[in-house]
Amino acid sequence: MKNAFITFWGCRGSIATPGRSTERYGGNTSCICLKYDNAYYIFDAGTGIRGLGVELMDFVEDHYDGEPIELNIFLSHTHWDHIQGLPFFQPAYDSRFKLNIYGSENQDEMLEKTLSGQMNSVYFPVPMSQLNADLNVHVDLHAIDIHGVKISSTDQDHPGGSTAFKTILDKDRTFVYATDNELDLQFNSDGTPKNKMGQRYFNFISAVDYLIADGQYTDEEYLDKVGWGHTSLSLIHKVAYAAGVKNLVIYHHDPMHTDSILEDLSHKYMQQYESLTPAMQVIWAREGLTIPLRS
């Protein structure tokens, strides 16, 4: 079995929150990377992707053999916290890299325009046309198979829309990246689906090895944020457990959640779900965390 590792480069939702009170879980916005047999599958390009770019520049110095190094970037949607790091991603400026950027046709029919728009001189000094990498933007997410890694997708409930991605390695190692999704509008409080979108999501995450999921709000906070596109913590745990998820990774942390708040929340839910039979492992995503992907 080939090695597969997921690394978290940014776990924060909404806006980057550097500082002393967030140094343990990190302040960079959404970005994770699956490295599988020397291929890279990147999910979202929030500010966290900048650090990944620095590491990839070191890698290219040692490993470039004349063939372009391929990076596949899957964008859940184009809210700022998911694309803002792209203009600071060094491989995009380097002709030794090939960048394939995937986004949903439904949600992101203007994907290329949106990405180049954030590099308009009003916002940023360097235009997208000056990116030297071989850049390809794809808005067809059907039947993606890149070097034997299969990636499927489903729509989520989020203002402007967002996409969840399921990755399957070697037929039986699976993970779902599903951020910016308001499950509270799709599920009853006991974790059962209450509409078609909820049922589709339930089937999509069913029995996956790892679910990386939006858990932005406490149950109390959610009451003031209905319709903002994010999920309450108790509900994501109930839905994941009911769907037979083996490991739940809570992601897209609220900017107001300091390290001590996240620590308290994580202890509460970890103890609750790891003591059940069967147990579900609960992990609170933090910047720099690497998870080996085993089935």
Q: Which of 4, 6, 7, 13 binds Zn ion (CB under 5 A)?
A: 13
Which of 173, 252 has the CB closer to Zn ion? 252
Binding footprint of Zn ion, residue count (CB under 5 A): 4
Among residues 218, 190, 220, the alpha carbon closest in space to that of 202 is found at: 190
Q: Does 79 bind Zn ion (CB under 5 A)?
A: yes
Told to check if 254 binds Zn ion by CB under 5 A, we report no
Kindly state the smallest distance separating residue 169's Cβ from Zn ion, in Å.
26
Q: Among all residues, whose Cβ is closest to Zn ion? A: 79
Minimum distance from residue 85 beta carbon to Zn ion (Å):
13
Q: Which stretch binds Zn ion (CB under 5 A): 54-62, 81-89, 103-111, 202-210?
A: 81-89
Pick the stretch among 74-82, 98-106, 148-156, 269-277 that binds Zn ion (CB under 5 A): 74-82
Part in contact with Zn ion (CB under 5 A); list of ranges 56-64, 109-117, 177-185, 236-244: 177-185
Closest distance to Zn ion from the beta carbon of 61 (Å): 33
> C-beta of 157: minimal distance to Zn ion in Å?
11
Q: Which stretch binds Zn ion (CB under 5 A): 95-103, 122-130, 179-187, 260-268?
A: 179-187
188, amino acid identity: N
Angle, in degrees to the nearest 10, between helices 196-205 and 233-242: 60
From the list 180-188, 194-202, 237-245, 280-288, the region that binds Zn ion by CB under 5 A is 180-188
| Minimal distance, residue 174 CB to Zn ion, in Å | 23
> Residue 44 Cβ, how far from Zn ion at the closest point, in Å?
8
| Count of C-beta atoms within a 10 Å radius of residue 250 | 26
In this structure, the strands spanning 39-43 and 97-102 are unpaired
Q: Which of 94, 108, 180, 209 binds Zn ion (CB under 5 A)?
A: 180
Nearer to Zn ion, 76 or 247 (CB): 76
Among 8, 41, 48, 81, binds Zn ion (CB under 5 A): 81
In the window 96-125, what residues touch Zn ion (CB under 5 A)?
none
Q: What is the 3-state secondary structure (H, E, C) of 174-217?
A: EEEEECCCCHHHCECCCCCECCHHHHHHHHHHCCCCEEEEECCE
Question: Segment near Zn ion (CB under 5 A), from 11-19, 67-75, 113-121, 218-226?
Answer: 11-19
- Radius of gyration for the alpha carbons in the chain, expressed in angstroms and rounded: 18
The pairing of strands 210-214 and 247-251 is parallel
Chain residues that interact with Zn ion, rule: CB under 5 A: 13, 79, 81, 180
